[in-house]
Amino acid sequence: MQRLSLRRQEVARELDINHALLAPVHRLFPELLSEVFIHALQDPFNVQKTDFAVRVLCGVCTTWRAAARATPLLWTSIDLSYITSLEDPLLRLQLQLSGQLPLTVTAKVQDQAMQLLLVAFFDGMSDEDASRVVEITVEDDGVVLSQLRSRHLATLRVADVNIWDTCTQGELGFLTSAPTVHKLTIGVQYECEDDDAALAFPVPVIPDLPCLTHLILAIENEFPVSAFLPAISQLAPVLRVLKMSSFEVSAWEETKPTVTCEMHVLHTLELQHYTHRFLTFITAPVLHAVTLIGDDAQLGKEDPTESLLDLLTRSPCPPLRSFALHDPMQGSASGLLRCIELMEGLQRLSIEDNEQGVTSSPRLVAVLQRLVCDENTPPMLPELRSLSVQCRGDKSPCVRSDVAAPLSQVRLSRKDPRVCAGRAVAALE
């Protein structure tokens, strides 16, 4: 009993000491709290940045509220879904607390009130605030987007525009005075009647953006790739990175242009589903990286490597260094091998057979067998340094049984630098 009584007294003293101390949140310096808040805001899963700053940081205690208000970076993300009008106190607070830091603006319209607010925001934004905007994300009907006032967005670098319902071709007009935009994402979700398509597919007009080097095009209305070729062609002198995605099947036939589009500075291409047809419309003399994502829902209907072979066999052949293929592998093994042979300087190769419910990959096996090095045989891809092989649907990290053996042979034969038939072969990483 005496021992328990002494222990009780010790615990009581410890509790008294702890009660006298400030809570941990009050013991942190405001500067340190700000650093913690900024770190939490950079979490890639924390997309509701305004909600995070207002509810989480300012709703805990007065200490956190004061630290949050004194951290300008927390207030630079303006989401119009939290704003009711241009007189909304939150909007004024964000513009004030953000100091002179760059701003990002997000407007994903949900109703008519939001549409009116979006138009009013572009009309009422001060020139000073407009010059601070570095990133814009807007989603709305094409009619509403075409009503947005063109402001002098002197520092805008990234724009993401998603067009719904209708296309007036003026949806990107608000970027007319945005000379520093280097990355543009366009999502098209509006529909088109057959009669309208017979005349011309309604495609948004891209204004003159002299610094635009990255274009992401999401075709979600089944338009043919050729419908966007004129818009992409005007960007050919500056465009270095192009990514295109689409639904599985196009609703219209492609119209092959009479003149090939020359993409003189295009460095990186990523094409999904039927957008691989774009390769047949262009030349790209400095193209270094290509990623083709095939259609695992329409097996055997399209082989993206056929379009790649078309590009590679036309002069000049691009100096590809990286190639990734994610495809059901239903096409010709000889066609794929011919593509790889033409990419002689390739250094990185990634192949994924994404057909599910199968136990073998004969096309992939044919490629791996050809990659095995032998002293008396001229090597394929002698500069290859990185090789990735995957099969979707596998329940274990191991590849399919028919792939495992040739893959092991490739890695073993390229474990160290060597010479085969007089050609130097690099070692795999």
Does residue 65 sit in the same domain as residue 162? no
pLDDT at residue number 280: 92
Q: Which residues on adjacent β-strands are paired with residue 136? A: 105, 159
Whole-model pTM: value is 0.85
pLDDT at residue number 338: 92
Give the domain-ending residue among 171, 192, 212: 212
The packing angle between helices 333-342 and 304-312, to 10°, is 40
Does residue 122 sit in the same domain as residue 58? no
Q: Is residue 327 situated within a structural domain?
A: no
The angle formed by the CA atoms of residues 248, 253 and 255, to the nearest 5 degrees, is 125
Measured between alpha carbons, how far is 22 from 15 in angstroms, rounded to an integer? 13
Q: Is residue 300 situated within a structural domain?
A: no
Q: Is residue 335 situated within a structural domain?
A: no
Identity of residue 267: H
Give the domain-ending residue among 169, 197, 212: 212
Does residue 208 sit in the same domain as residue 97? yes
Q: How does pLDDT run across 19-69, given as a tens digit for each residue?
A: 655 556 566 677 777 777 777 777 655 556 777 777 777 777 777 788 888
Q: How does pLDDT run across 130-146, given as a tens digit for each residue?
A: 999 999 999 888 888 88
Among 345, 339, 422, smallest CA distance to 382 is for 345
Q: Is residue 364 situated within a structural domain?
A: yes
Q: Is residue 197 situated within a structural domain?
A: yes
Q: Which residues on adjacent β-strands are paired with residue 109? A: none
Measured between alpha carbons, how far is 148 from 159 in angstroms, rounded to an integer? 14
Does residue 192 sit in the same domain as residue 151? yes
pLDDT at residue number 209: 92
Cis status, amide bond into 316, omega within 30 of 0: yes
Centroid of chain to Cα 276: 17
Give the domain-ending residue among 212, 235, 259: 212
Centroid of chain to Cα 175: 21
pLDDT at residue number 297: 60
| Residue 371 near residue 346 (C-beta atoms within 8 A) | no
Measured between alpha carbons, how far is 329 from 300 in angstroms, rounded to an integer? 8
pLDDT at residue number 176: 92
State the Cα torsion 251-252-253-257 to the nearest 10°. -130
Does residue 70 sit in the same domain as residue 104? no
Q: Which domain holds residue 419?
A: 342-429
Residues 6+ apart with CB under 8 A from 388: 349, 350, 351, 352
Q: Is residue 174 situated within a structural domain?
A: yes
Measured between alpha carbons, how far is 228 from 234 in angstroms, rounded to an integer? 11
Does residue 167 sit in the same domain as residue 110? yes
Does residue 374 sit in the same domain as residue 414? yes
| Residue 110 near residue 118 (C-beta atoms within 8 A) | no
pLDDT at residue number 198: 57
pLDDT at residue number 46: 52
Does residue 66 sit in the same domain as residue 131? no
pLDDT at residue number 350: 93
Does residue 116 sit in the same domain as residue 31? no
Measured between alpha carbons, how far is 186 from 217 in angstroms, rounded to an integer? 5
Domain count for the chain: 3
pLDDT at residue number 356: 72
Q: Is residue 186 situated within a structural domain?
A: yes
pLDDT at residue number 347: 95
Token pair belonging to 150: 């063109």
pLDDT at residue number 67: 80
Does residue 411 sit in the same domain as residue 358? yes
β-strands 289-293, 348-353 pairing: unpaired
Element containing residue 236 per DSSP (H, E)? none
Measured between alpha carbons, how far is 178 from 154 in angstroms, rounded to an integer? 6
| Residue 365 near residue 341 (C-beta atoms within 8 A) | no
Q: How high is the mean pLDDT in each 10-residue block of the chain (429 residues)?
A: 81 70 62 76 64 73 80 86 84 88 87 84 90 92 89 94 85 92 92 65 88 93 88 93 86 81 94 92 94 74 87 85 86 86 93 77 88 89 91 62 88 91 89
Does residue 54 sit in the same domain as residue 101? no
Q: Is residue 114 situated within a structural domain?
A: yes
Does residue 116 sit in the same domain as residue 200? yes
